[in-house]
Amino acid sequence: MIAASGGLQVAADIYGTEGPLVILQHGGGQTRHAWKGAGQKLAEAGYLAVSLDARGHGDSDWAPDGDYSNDALVEDLVAVVDSFEQSPILVGASMGGGTSLTAVGEGRVNAAALVLVDTAPRIEAGGVRKIRDFMVQAPDGFSSLEEVADAIANYQPHRTRPRTLDGLAKNVRLWPDGRYRWHWDPEFMRRKRSLKDRVPRQEEAARNVDCPSLLVRGGLSDVLSEEGAQAYLELVPHSEYANVGEAAHMVAGDRNDIFVTAVLDFLGKIAAPN
């Protein structure tokens, strides 16, 4: 566990022992385990990769006041960065990308590089609504892991259904009533979020990004459109861009091989290990 802000602790997995620091932040409803494959490959390449569970997710503390705002997530990131002794490479998917972009663009974190994964200031309301609908389903939980697997399969029909249910234990918690519920704090979904309100702040942050940047888009994504990606590249003209054609919104999970290759190629040019 790593100390975050407000007395909270966030769970982390560390891959590697030394090298340029890479902090991996997942999307809403995910956990640090979404980065396992990427973390391992980064460590093999000589990087020190740290994947975090955001507050209210996975094994991290839940916020007693229910504050899961972008500002709260940024404060957590700042606290985590302060616990290390080097400028980090920030890699953020979806929600984690928004946190990273705000932290860099508003001068809260002096990042060595910024990698955004299927997120940008302008994202698609329909895709976000689909994610939210998935996350708020079954408020009373599931009676079995098979029901959990069915829900995930319906949400991600392009993915092959796992042969065993063992990995689902990272996504749900068994409650005292004997039912399985998603790992995140229910308060996380009770907070209203406006896409329209987030755009000006995120665009202003993007204009202020002066570190090396890479935007990775899932070619099948219904969250970040090609138009949204190009709008980011206009705001950050020095940014590089990779379109992973066979991946949807969960880019690293869908095509980790292509994703990691794109990230390592980018990092090799600006922050190669000694």
Q: Which domain holds residue 251?
A: 2-124+193-270
Lowest model confidence (mean pLDDT) among 54-63, 153-162, 220-229: 153-162
Domain boundary among 167, 187, 207: 187
Residues 84-99 pLDDT 10s = 989 999 999 999 999 9
Q: Is the dihedral of CA 174, 179, 184, 185 positive or negative?
A: negative
Cross-strand partners of 113: 89
| Residue 165, pLDDT score | 73
Residues 200-222: what's their mean pLDDT? 94
Residues 104 and 200 in one domain: yes
Percent of the chain predicted with pLDDT > 90? 60
- Over 80: is that where the pLDDT of 36 sits? yes
Co-location of 137 and 232 in the same domain = no
How confident is the model at residue 199, as a pLDDT?
93
pLDDT of residue 224: 92
Instruction: Map residue 4 onto helix, strand or coil.
Output: coil
Confidence of residue 257 (pLDDT cuts 50, 70, 90): confident
Give me the pLDDT at residue 194, please.
67
Claim to verify: residue 180 and residue 223 sit in the same structural domain: no
Interatomic CA distance for residues 269 and 212, integer angstroms: 10
What predicted TM-score, i.e. pTM, was given to this entire model? 0.89
Q: 97 and 216: one domain?
A: yes
Task: Give the pLDDT of residue 268.
Answer: 93
Length, in residues, of the chain: 274
Q: Which of 44-58, 109-123, 158-172, 257-271 has the lowest mean pLDDT?
A: 158-172
Same domain, 20 and 94: yes
Boundary of a domain, candidates 166, 187, 208: 187
The span from the CA of 86 to the CA of 270, in Å, is 15
Q: Quick one: average pLDDT of 9-21?
A: 96
- The reply to whether 34 and 89 lie within a common domain is yes
Provide the mean pLDDT of the chain.
90
Total domains in the chain come to: 2
Is there a single domain that holds both residue 74 and residue 163? no
pLDDT in tens, 128-172: 888 888 888 888 888 888 888 888 887 777 666 767 777 777 888
Confidence at residue 219, expressed as pLDDT on a 0 to 100 scale: 81
> Do residue 104 and residue 120 come from a single domain?
yes
pLDDT band at 124; cut points 50, 70, 90: confident
- Residue 61 pLDDT exceeds 90: yes
Residue type, 82: D
Q: Specify whether the backbone of 94 is left (phi greater than 0), alpha (psi in -120 to 50) or beta.
A: left
Q: What are phi and psi of 134, to 5 degrees?
A: -65, -40
Claim to verify: residue 115 and residue 30 sit in the same structural domain: yes
Structural contact between residues 181 and 206, judged by C-beta atoms closer than 8 angstroms: no
User: Do 108 and 233 have their domain in common?
Assistant: yes
Do 137 and 13 share a structural domain?
no
Question: Given this model, what pLDDT does residue 253 score?
Answer: 60
What is the b/e burial string over 144-162, where b = at least 16 CB atoms within 10 angstroms of the residue's CB? ebeebbebbeeebeeeeee
Final residue belonging to a domain, choices 136, 161, 187: 187
Give the model's pLDDT for residue 136: 83
Q: In degrees to the nearest 10, what's the CA dihedral of 36, 95, 269, 20?
A: -60
CATH assignment at residue 34: 3.40.50.1820
238 and 172 housed in the same domain = no
